């Protein structure tokens, strides 16, 4: 029997069980919400119904761990407490507050969306799902999350944690990252929801995936809804969710030059705005030796150490060298910056790692 035939048989066998679980959704919600009331984490964005603050938190939490987000979230709101302040911010202010969080297109899209809200919605987050989807950088997940958590609209929210919970709960024989798999999970989540406490229900589902229904070491003994879980009843929890094989990460080597003048200022270079990942950020002069030579005017001296960094599926190894600058005429995008002014500039994480390596602050 080939794999496709097995999958088809599994789906046919699971349908009656999935129907039973839908019928048992009231029990599921009661158990889940009771657990959430007792065991939920104390997170700052759970203390507000302000759609702006919820929106900021949801965008920051994409691709970033909760504990890493908290200080950035609080600092960001100190600088930009509302939509209008965010819309008026300079790019330097915006990226400085985001520096270190990564995926910087998120910050730029936040500001683009804020400007649309000011221009077309009176500086308020829209209540209509389709109007929200028209905002820059906002997809179905973020739109559903903000409308549900802020306005109580009963929309299911599917992040990675919720997809994992649903995949195990229903033993879903589909990859959640495919369109068909995601649609199947969306329908299952909708069947579990109620118009009562939809925000808490979505938060509880995310909390369950983040703290109990873990990817590698699920804590099934602590799960309040394991009675409803098909994968648990079959002893196949670790087989879900189904996933495509990931490609190997790309290994890349770089060289970075650390130059200081007599005043202790550091030479930094501004990346062009059109740069895909880090446009507008400042960094140490850096290049791939296999692709290009050191910039004219830079002379490498002592090697100081190695910094490791990851960007999406790229694994970077950066050799840091002490360097000197020769000649008086330098590139327009070069700038000598005092270390006590670094907070005024958006500086790349790689550069911060390099400076920490050699204890420059």
DSSP result, 241-290:
S--PPPPPPEEEEEEEEE-B-TT--EEEEEPPTT-TTTTT-EE--EE-TT
Is 58 tagged catalytic?
yes
Look at residues 304, 285, 228 and name the one whose alpha carbon lies nearest to residue 35: 228
Burial class (CB in 10 A: 0-12, 13-18, 19+), 230: buried
User: For residues 71-91, b (16+ Cβ closer than 10 Å) or e, as one string?
Assistant: ebbeebbeebeebbebbebee
Q: How far is CA 162 from the centre of its chain?
A: 15
Query: How far is Cα 66 from Cα 58, in angstroms, rounded to an integer?
Result: 10
Cβ–Cβ < 8 Å for 35, 62: no
Q: How far is CA 182 from the centre of its chain?
A: 18
User: For residues 43-64, b (16+ Cβ closer than 10 Å) or e, as one string?
Assistant: bebbeeebbbbbbbbbbbbeeb
Q: What does DSSP say about strands 298-311 and 314-325: parallel, antiparallel, or unpaired? A: antiparallel
Q: Name the active-site residue from 58, 93, 120, 187.
A: 58
3-state secondary structure of 334: strand
Write out the catalytic residue numbers. 58
């Amino acid at each position: 029997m080939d794999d496709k035939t097995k999958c088809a048989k599994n789906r046919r066998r699971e349908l009656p069980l999935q129907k039973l679980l839908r019928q048992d959704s009231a029990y599921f919600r009661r158990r889940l919400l009771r657990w959430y009331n007792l065991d939920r984490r104390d997170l700052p964005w759970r203390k507000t119904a302000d759609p702006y603050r919820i929106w900021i938190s949801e965008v920051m939490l994409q691709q970033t761990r909760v504990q890493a987000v908290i200080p950035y979230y609080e600092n960001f709101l100190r600088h930009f407490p509302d939509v209008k302040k965010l819309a008026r911010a300079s790019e330097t202010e915006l990226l400085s507050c985001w520096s270190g969080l990564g995926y910087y297109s998120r910050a730029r899209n936040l500001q683009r969306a804020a400007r649309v809200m000011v221009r077309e919605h009176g500086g308020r987050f829209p209540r209509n799902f389709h109007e929200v989807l028209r905002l820059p950088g906002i997809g179905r997940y973020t739109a559903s999350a903000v409308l549900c958590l802020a306005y109580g609209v009963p929309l299911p929210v599917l992040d990675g944690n919720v997809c994992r919970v649903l995949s195990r709960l229903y033993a879903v024989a589909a990859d959640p990252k495919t369109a068909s798999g995601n649609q199947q999970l969306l329908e299952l989540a909708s069947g579990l929801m109620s118009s009562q406490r939809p925000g808490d229900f979505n938060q509880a589902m995310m909390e369950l995936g983040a703290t109990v229904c873990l990817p590698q070491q699920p804590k099934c003994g602590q799960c309040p809804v394991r009675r409803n879980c098909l994968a648990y009843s079959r002893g196949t929890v670790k087989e879900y969710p189904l996933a495509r094989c990931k490609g190997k990460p790309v290994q890349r080597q770089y060289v970075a030059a650390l130059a200081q003048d007599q005043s202790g200022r550091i030479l930094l270079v501004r990346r062009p705005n059109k740069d895909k990942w880090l446009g507008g950020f400042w960094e140490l002069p850096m290049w791939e030796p296999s692709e290009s030579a050191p910039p004219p005017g830079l002379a490498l001296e002592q090697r100081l150490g190695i910094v490791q960094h990851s960007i999406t599926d790229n694994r970077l190894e950066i050799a840091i060298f002490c360097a000197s600058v020769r000649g008086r005429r330098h590139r327009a995008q070069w700038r000598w910056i005092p270390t006590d002014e670094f907070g005024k500039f958006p500086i790349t994480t790689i550069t911060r790692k390099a400076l920490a390596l050699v204890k420059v602050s």
